[in-house]
């Protein structure tokens, strides 16, 4: 059988494959399919989040056989970062270094291109790590619901930001995906995500989805005002912050 026979072609499976390669560190046992790029894979971002969540549930279940909730939560947070390759933490640190610099717009965009992590970026990463750790360790028997839903809502929030706000500059990831998901697609994906969150976590999941949408929109408006639009870094920052919001909401509802 040829590689072409074994490899998904440019269709839904190929788009899911592209999303998995972009958003995770999961090894794929086949060559990368020929696709038209990440833009067509956008609707699969929440599904990739659900896959990450399912893997985290497996990690948490195994950890829970041996260690107490705090250690279980710490292993979950570390596994969460490893599965995403730290992609969104990089965006989180760059975004907060820029936004909290209180410089003019062009200087903020320059700061976001700098690979070095500043004080505000480091504090943002530490804060998100600690909050995830705290909420997961306090989630009790329902920890798996929070771990399953939060990655899905984080990547769904990225889609909302991509669809709702302009790109801050040409040539970056933000400009390559901005406007590439239409309203019908977004509404369909949103309905499925909200149904899934509710089915998994009940009222807490529904509240988490509604709050995620509101917070993502508020962050998008704030950062568009500061930067003139959004970038790939801000999409990653939105994902991380919405994951924290989802964990907090579902844990509070348990």
Q: What's the domain range around 240? A: 40-253
Q: According to the model, what pLDDT value does residue 26 have?
A: 87
Count of structural domains within the chain:
1
Asked if residue 201 belongs to a domain, the reply is yes
Angle at 161 between CA 156 and CA 163, to 5 degrees: 95
The reply to whether 161 falls in a domain is: yes
When comparing pLDDT for 60 and 113, which is higher?
60
pLDDT (0 to 100) of residue 101: 84
In a domain, 212, yes or no: yes
The answer to pTM > 0.75 is yes
- The CA–CA distances, whole Å, from 167 to 105, 161, 180, 187, 218 equal 13, 10, 12, 21, 16
Higher pLDDT: 214 or 171? It is: 214
Taking residues 107-126, what's their average pLDDT?
88
* Residue percentage of the chain with pLDDT more than 70: 90
The pLDDT, as a whole number, for residue 110 is: 85
Tell me the average pLDDT across 36-58.
90
Report whether 157 contacts 242 (CB < 8 A): yes
In a domain? residue 11: no
On the question of pLDDT at 44 being above 80, the answer is yes
Question: Do the domain assignments include residue 23?
Answer: no
Report CA-CA distances (Å) from 130 to 46, 53, 73, 133: 24, 19, 10, 5
The verdict on residue 21 lying in a domain is no
Is a pLDDT exceeding 80 seen at residue 9?
no
Q: What is the mean pLDDT of the chain?
A: 88
Q: Could you report the per-residue pLDDT of 51-86, keeping only the tens digit for each?
A: 999 999 999 999 999 999 999 999 999 999 999 988
Q: How confident is the model at residue 4 (pLDDT cuts 50, 70, 90)?
A: very low
Q: Where are the alpha helices (DSSP H) in 30-178?
A: 45-64, 69-83, 87-99, 105-113, 119-137, 143-164, 173-177
According to DSSP, the residues that pair with 230 across neighbouring strands are 167
Q: Tell me if 3 is assigned to some domain.
A: no
What DSSP character marks residue 48? Answer: H
Residues of the chain with pLDDT > 90, as a percent, come to: 58
C-beta of residue 203 within 8 angstroms of C-beta of residue 209: no
Q: What is the pLDDT of residue 105?
A: 82
Confidence at residue 38, expressed as pLDDT on a 0 to 100 scale = 76
Does any domain span residue 210?
yes
Q: Tens digit of pLDDT for each residue in 117-156?
A: 889 999 999 999 999 999 999 988 889 999 999 999 999 9
Please give the pLDDT value at position 87: 83
Q: What is the pLDDT of residue 36?
A: 57
């Amino acid at each position: 059988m040829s590689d072409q026979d074994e490899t998904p072609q440019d269709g839904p499976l190929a788009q899911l494959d592209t999303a998995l390669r972009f958003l995770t560190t999961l090894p794929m046992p086949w060559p990368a399919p020929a696709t038209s790029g990440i833009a067509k894979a956008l609707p699969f971002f929440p599904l990739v989040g659900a896959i990450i969540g399912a893997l985290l549930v497996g990690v948490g279940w195994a950890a829970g056989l041996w260690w107490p909730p705090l250690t279980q939560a710490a292993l979950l947070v570390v596994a969460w970062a490893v599965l995403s390759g730290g992609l969104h933490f990089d965006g989180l640190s760059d975004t907060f270094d820029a936004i909290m610099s209180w410089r003019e717009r062009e200087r903020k965009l320059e700061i976001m291109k700098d690979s070095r992590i500043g004080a505000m970026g480091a504090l943002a990463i530490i804060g998100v790590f600690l909050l995830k750790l705290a909420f997961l360790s306090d989630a009790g028997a329902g920890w798996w619901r929070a771990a399953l839903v939060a990655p899905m809502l984080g990547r769904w929030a990225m889609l909302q930001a991509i669809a709702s706000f302009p790109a801050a500059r040409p040539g970056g990831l933000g400009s390559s995906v901005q406007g590439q998901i239409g309203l019908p697609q977004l509404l369909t994906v949103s309905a499925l995500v909200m149904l899934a969150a509710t089915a998994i976590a009940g009222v807490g999941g529904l509240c988490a989805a509604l709050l995620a949408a509101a917070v993502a929109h508020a962050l998008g408006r704030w950062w568009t005002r500061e930067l003139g639009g959004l970038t790939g870094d801000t999409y990653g920052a939105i994902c991380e912050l919405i994951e924290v919001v989802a964990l907090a909401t579902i844990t509070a509802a348990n």
